[in-house]
Amino acid sequence: MKILFVGDASNLHNCLARQLRLMGHDAVVASNGSHWMDTARDIDLNRHPGHWGTVRYLLDILKALPRMRGFDIVHLSSQIFLELKPQKVRRVFDYLRRHNGKVVLSALATDRVYYDACHDGHTYRYSDYRVGDQPSPYVGSPEYYAQEQDNWRLPLMERYSDYLIDHIDGVVACLWEYYEAYRPLVGDRLAYGGIPIDVDSLTLRPLDHEPERVRFFIGIQRDRTTIKGTDRLLASLQRVHDRYPDLCEMEVVENLPYAEYTRRMRASHVLLDQLYSYTPATNALIAMAQGLVAVSGAEPEYYDLIGEPSLHPIVNVTPYNDEDIDRQLESIIHQKSQLPQWSRDSREFVIRNNAAQVVAERHLHFWNQLLEET
């Protein structure tokens, strides 16, 4: 099979492409490398700032289009899969539909569909945008406005989103949240893929005894700290560290490239990842594959979707109040004798549910179903 990935986020498409090549398929990635993460790609579509950066970006797209024809499957990283306005993205979308087989959307980022689900008052108990019936700290923050989140409300975004959903052949969600947002709209054109993790490249760091001090690790993305809740997680960790300075340590890093980030976390026992999620995402899964315990989202709905009844190694945190977050972190310290077992369970969980081959096989099964309908 020939597969083209257009766009990427947190190395998902690049990891999936590598695995597909190992399985004998022809996979090409055209992306911006997830910006500062600088992940690998075959066609570089990185937009530089300024007028000339825009001109060069448009020329790069035009130059790349002839190389983006003749694929069985085209997988788009999001509705806005290029750094262009919707009307220009739509023209590229239509081009890809004309010159390829099936065009599939990876539901792996905020778009109009997820934004609407977060605000409808019934899809989620909490989200990046709301906690219960109240706005989350992200809404109205400088980060919110810097990312132009209100743009999702614009009529042109609604028209473009509706057009894409009407003309896309299928949607593969990487998280329960995105799966649930798209489920009412696309029905049987929807599949759960999960986030692929190259487990073989991430060595388990054996922990065969109770550590004297629990080492906590948290990575900060400066432009996403409020939406991910790492601001509140870091504040909680600092409070817990102040209470138990002899029993825990903390390492805080900011905006590291992907390879450096994974290397730095290896010396720790526990990763703090996201607060407003139902599902562990890339950072948590990478850490778990190396034997770290992840503090992230892991709600019952997620375990039900993936069919995992018993192996639940993720420390599930919810955003309702900071005292609960503190208690969850303190419980890890008080039960640090369990860390060796939790470490092994974390690795096993990723192997079972998110190994790159497992995720690739889910995608291949769905793609073959789509191709058989032709």
Looking at the fold, whether 99 and 6 belong to one and the same domain comes out as yes
Residues in CB range of 295: below 8 A, 6 or more apart: 233, 270, 271, 272, 273, 314, 315, 317, 328, 329, 332
Greatest mean pLDDT among 153-157, 237-241, 261-265 = 237-241
pLDDT, tens only, 129-140: 999 999 999 998
Least confident of 36-40, 71-75, 113-117: 36-40
Residues spanned by the domain of 75: 2-196+356-372
Is the Cβ–Cβ distance between 8 and 35 less than 8 Å? no
Looking at the fold, whether 316 and 232 belong to one and the same domain comes out as yes
Looking at the fold, whether 191 and 332 belong to one and the same domain comes out as no
Residue whose tokens read 């003749």: 70
CATH code assigned at 187: 3.40.50.2000
**Can you read off the two tokens belonging to residue 138?**
């992200």
Looking at the fold, whether 254 and 345 belong to one and the same domain comes out as yes
Q: Compute the average pLDDT of residues 37-56.
A: 85
CA dihedral 28, 34, 36, 42 (to 10 degrees): 10
Domain count within the chain? 2
As a whole number of angstroms, the distance between CA 221 and CA 231 comes to 10
Q: What are phi and psi of 190, to 5 degrees?
A: -115, 140
Helix, strand, coil: what percent of the chain each, to 5?
A: 50, 15, 35
> Which region holds residue 17: left if phi is over 0, alpha if psi is between -120 and 50, else beta?
alpha
Looking at the fold, whether 291 and 366 belong to one and the same domain comes out as no
- Kindly state the percentage of the chain with pLDDT values over 90: 79
According to the model, what pLDDT value does residue 101 have?
Answer: 96
Looking at the fold, whether 100 and 249 belong to one and the same domain comes out as no
According to the model, what pLDDT value does residue 36 have?
Answer: 64
According to the model, what pLDDT value does residue 10 have?
Answer: 83
Q: Compute the average pLDDT of residues 289-318.
A: 95
According to the model, what pLDDT value does residue 374 have?
Answer: 65
What are 260-264's contacts with CB under 8 Å, separation 24+? 261/219, 262/202, 262/286, 262/290, 264/217
Looking at the fold, whether 213 and 98 belong to one and the same domain comes out as no
Looking at the fold, whether 192 and 203 belong to one and the same domain comes out as no
Residue whose tokens read 């980022």: 109
According to the model, what pLDDT value does residue 239 have?
Answer: 97
Print the SS3 string covering 138-164.
CCCCHHHHHCCHHHHHCHHHHHHHHHH
Looking at the fold, whether 11 and 64 belong to one and the same domain comes out as yes
Looking at the fold, whether 136 and 219 belong to one and the same domain comes out as no
pLDDT, tens only, 337-372: 999 999 999 999 999 999 999 999 999 999 999 999
pLDDT at 3 over 80: yes
pLDDT, tens only, 205-216: 878 889 999 999
Q: pLDDT tier at 259 (50, 70, 90 boundaries)?
A: confident
Looking at the fold, whether 149 and 211 belong to one and the same domain comes out as no
Looking at the fold, whether 70 and 185 belong to one and the same domain comes out as yes
Query: How many CA atoms are closer than 13 Å to the CA of 229, on its beta-carbon side?
Result: 27
For the chain, what is the mean pLDDT? Answer: 93
